Amino acid sequence: MSNKNTEIEDKKEYWRADVSRIREDSVHGSIYLANQALEIVEEFIKLRLYRNRTELLQSLSKLSNALVRAKPLMALIYNRTQNVIEFIQNTPKEEKNIDNIRDATLKHIENLRKEAEKKVEKITRLGSRMIMDHHLVLVHSYSNVVYSILVKAHKLKRRFRVICTESRPANEGSKMAIQLAKAGIKTRLITDANVARAVDEAHFILTGTDRFTETTFVSKTGTRTLAILAKSMNKPLYVAGETDKILLKRTYPVRFLQSNPKEIIKEKYGNLTVNNIYFEETPLSHVNKIIIENGIHELKEFVDRYL
């Protein structure tokens, strides 16, 4: 490849630094990062570093693959970027004007955002109905959907309490606890090692998810422990998430990435290996109800209809 062609390709892939920021973000949840990914896609389309539909699709496919590899467990990123690509592919072949294709795609992206907001609003409304007076709800890590459900229930004047795990090593649960307390909700923050006592006390466990597969849901490491404890103590486990988070393994495999070991221990020692994996799969068989934008489903109904 000539130097000129290399320069052109480098210009088209200006987004590499933006993708790296998403890869390295260990604080924000899937909704925030999926929105960031969609903004990167939108910006690329606006810049028009392509001459026709074919070039646009080739460049977007490369960008989409990079975004998905950055966060391979976040189904929203995969599904939204693929949705944009499929929209362009399905534009009538007679449409040759690249400006028209670009404008229609940008409008489609805006509609995607509005639909996503409506789905979260519906899940929030449905989930808040499950929280009654005097309930004690246990949550793990940080989930925008779970936070919205709890705040909505509080606005409905429900008198309930929440237990948050600290959710090491990034302590997203501590962030959740502080935000809930500031919202006026009585909240207790506990160490991750104290979950057995918390499950025993709680009326139910409420968690979000980054992805639904054929037989599991993916969320912050520690969720599977909660699920096993809940099942052994006959406590319900409820999972809240949009149907856009359904991504089957036969479509895209589940890949767990190592995070920075220095978050656990800063020094290196001979013969010591540090595992810092943020996410894990939990069998759907441990779940009692799943809250999606279309309703609150028993496990079998959800699996039969969507998986």
Tokens of 21: 């920021």
Please state which CATH class domain 3-121 belongs to. mainly alpha
Q: Give the residues of the chain that fall short of pLDDT 50.
A: none
Q: 238 forms bridges with which residues in the sheet?
A: 206, 289
- Which of 73, 67, 92, 82 is CA-nearest to residue 29? 73
Handedness of CA 73, 77, 83, 89 (dihedral sign): negative
Fill in the amino acid letter for 66. Answer: A
pLDDT of residue 27: 80
Segment 38-42 long-range contacts (CB within 8 Å, at least 24 positions apart): 38/80, 38/81, 38/84, 38/109, 38/112, 38/113, 40/15, 40/67, 41/67, 41/80, 41/81, 41/84, 41/109, 42/106, 42/109
Residue 54, pLDDT score? 96
C-alpha 296/C-alpha 82 separation (Å) is 27
Written as six digits, the tokens of 215 are 């037989």
Supply the pTM of this predicted model: 0.93
Q: Is 295 helix (H, G, I), strand (E, B) or coil?
A: strand
Report the C-alpha gap between 164 and 274 in whole angstroms: 25
Domain boundaries, the chain: 3-121, 123-306
- What pLDDT score does 148 carry? 98
DSSP element (H, E) containing 128 = helix 98-128
The predicted structure's pLDDT at residue 3: 53
CA distance 125 to 209: 17
**Residue-by-residue DSSP string for 45-100:** HHHT--SSHHHHHHHHHHHHHHHHHHSTT-HHHHHHHHHHHHHHHTS-TT---HHH
Tell me which fold the domain 123-306 belongs to: Rossmann fold (3.40.50)
